[in-house]
Amino acid sequence: MAHGDTHNLAIGYLLWIFGFMGAHRFYYGRPVTGTIWFFTLGLLGIGWLIDLFLMPSMDRSAELRYDAGPIDHNATWILLTFLGVFGIHRFYMGKYLTGILYLLTAGLAGIGVLYDYWTLNEQVSEVNTGAR
């Protein structure tokens, strides 16, 4: 397994700006707390501010947990965040059938996009591991 160079602290901070919605926590592979942040607006802003200082450790942790490879984690996350309902991130990962399905159903009415927020890091690592 090739770990490292999977996540970028600058992108983490960019997503932190939207952190009251949990975006940075999903990015770093913490879907449970990402969901909590989403429903509580970042623990009423307190958790969101604390995360400002926790970001470097979340970044290091993600680097150790996920596999690098030809599919870039950062590019995939940007595509999911801004174009997820169109399935562009799925096309990028080579998942053309589900990409078309997302394109025709607005990301399966948003449920597929939510699923991808929960599992995208693992999906990218799996594709990268299979690409070797």
104: Cβ contacts below 8 Å, ≥ 6 apart: none
Task: Identify the pLDDT of residue 131.
Answer: 66
- Domain boundaries along the sequence of the chain: 9-130
Would the pLDDT of 4 be above 90? no
Half-sphere exposure of 128 (CA within 13 A, CB side): 21
Quick: pLDDT tens for 49-60: 999 999 999 999
45: Cβ contacts below 8 Å, ≥ 6 apart: 20
Would the pLDDT of 39 be above 90? yes
How would residue 132 be classed by pLDDT, with cut points 50, 70 and 90? low
* Mean pLDDT of the chain, nearest integer: 93
How would residue 2 be classed by pLDDT, with cut points 50, 70 and 90? low
Task: Identify the pLDDT of residue 21.
Answer: 83
Would the pLDDT of 64 be above 60? yes
What is the Cα Rg of the chain in Å? 14
Quick: pLDDT tens for 5-32: 899 999 999 999 877 789 999 999 999 9
Q: What is the pTM of this model?
A: 0.88
Share of the chain above pLDDT 90, in %: 87
Q: Locate 57 and state its tokens.
A: 């450790």
